[in-house]
C-alpha cells in the first residue's frame, strides 16, 4: 500500500478507504432495528433522529442499547479494517464512516448526529480519547440528564486530550468530527439555552 505522504500515488487508495468507510457508516441501524421491531419509523417520534437516544424514546431500552452498540461498531470496524493497510487509511475510513452516518444515501442523506459512531471511531483510532469521552459523557449526563450536553462537552474535551497526549493525527481528525458534532446539534443547543431540551429517559 502506498505511503499516504505520496498523495498522487496514494490518492486512489485513500478514496477507496473513504468510500468503504462511508458505505459502512451509512447503515442506518436505528431506523432498521425499530422497523424490524414493528415500531414504525423512528424519525417520526421525539427528535426525529435515528440514533440511540431517540430509539430510547420508544420505551425499548434493549433496542436503544443495540442501536448504540451497532452505530459505534460500524465506526470501529471502518477504522480497524482500513488500518490494516496503514494508520492514515484507518483515519480516512473513520472520517468516511462518520460522514456516512450523518448523511446516509439510503435515507436521503438525512442521518443521525454521530455521537455513537464518533465514539466507535475513537475506540479504534485512539483508545485513550475514548476513555476521556466516556468519563466526561457519564459525568455530565449523570449531573444534568442531558445526553446532548454530555456529548457536546465530551466533543470539546476529546481533541484537547489527544493533542496533549501527542496523538496528532487522531487529534486533527477529531477536531473536525467535533465541529461536525456541534453543527449537527445546533437545534439541541438552542433548546438547551431555552430550557426545552429533552432529558435522558423522556419519551417522545
Res 202 pLDDT > 70: no
**How does DSSP classify residue 45?**
S
Q: Domain locations in the chain?
A: 7-194
Give tens-digit pLDDT for 44-91: 887 778 888 788 888 888 999 999 999 999 999 999 999 999 999 999
Return the closest-CA partner of residue 174 out of 111, 130, 135: 130
Query: Exposed/middle/buried for 164, CB within 10 Å: 0-12, 13-18, 19+?
Result: exposed
Q: What is the band of 204 on the pLDDT scale with cuts at 50, 70, 90?
A: very low
Give tens-digit pLDDT for 141-200: 999 999 899 999 999 999 999 999 999 999 999 999 999 999 999 999 999 999 988 887
Q: Could you tell me which residues come within 8 angstroms of residue 131 by beta carbon, excluding any fewer than 6 positions away? A: none
Give tens-digit pLDDT for 105-114: 999 999 999 9
Cell of 131: 476513555
Give tens-digit pLDDT for 11-54: 889 999 999 999 999 999 999 999 999 888 888 887 778 888 78
Q: Which pTM does this prediction carry? A: 0.92
Amino acid at each position: 500500500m502506498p505511503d499516504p505522504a505520496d498523495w498522487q500515488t496514494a490518492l486512489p487508495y485513500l478514496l477507496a478507504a473513504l468510500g468503504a468507510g462511508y458505505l459502512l457508516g451509512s447503515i442506518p441501524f436505528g431506523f432498521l432495528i425499530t422497523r424490524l421491531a414493528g415500531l414504525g419509523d423512528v424519525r417520526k417520534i421525539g427528535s426525529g433522529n435515528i440514533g440511540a437516544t431517540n430509539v430510547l424514546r420508544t420505551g425499548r431500552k434493549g433496542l436503544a442499547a443495540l442501536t448504540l452498540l451497532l452505530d459505534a461498531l460500524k465506526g470501529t470496524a471502518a477504522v480497524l479494517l482500513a488500518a490494516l493497510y496503514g494508520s492514515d487509511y484507518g483515519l480516512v475510513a473513520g472520517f468516511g464512516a462518520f460522514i456516512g452516518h450523518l448523511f446516509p444515501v439510503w435515507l436521503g442523506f438525512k442521518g443521525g448526529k454521530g455521537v455513537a459512531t464518533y465514539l466507535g471511531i475513537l475506540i479504534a483510532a485512539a483508545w485513550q480519547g475514548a476513555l476521556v469521552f466516556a468519563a466526561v459523557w457519564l459525568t455530565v449526563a449523570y449531573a444534568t440528564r442531558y445526553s446532548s450536553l454530555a456529548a457536546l462537552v465530551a466533543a470539546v474535551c476529546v481533541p484537547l486530550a489527544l493533542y496533549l497526549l501527542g496523538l496528532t493525527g487522531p487529534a486533527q481528525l477529531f477536531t473536525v468530527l467535533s465541529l461536525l458534532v456541534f453543527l449537527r446539534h445546533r437545534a439541541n443547543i438552542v433548546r438547551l439555552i431555552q430550557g426545552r431540551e429533552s432529558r435522558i429517559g423522556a419519551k417522545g
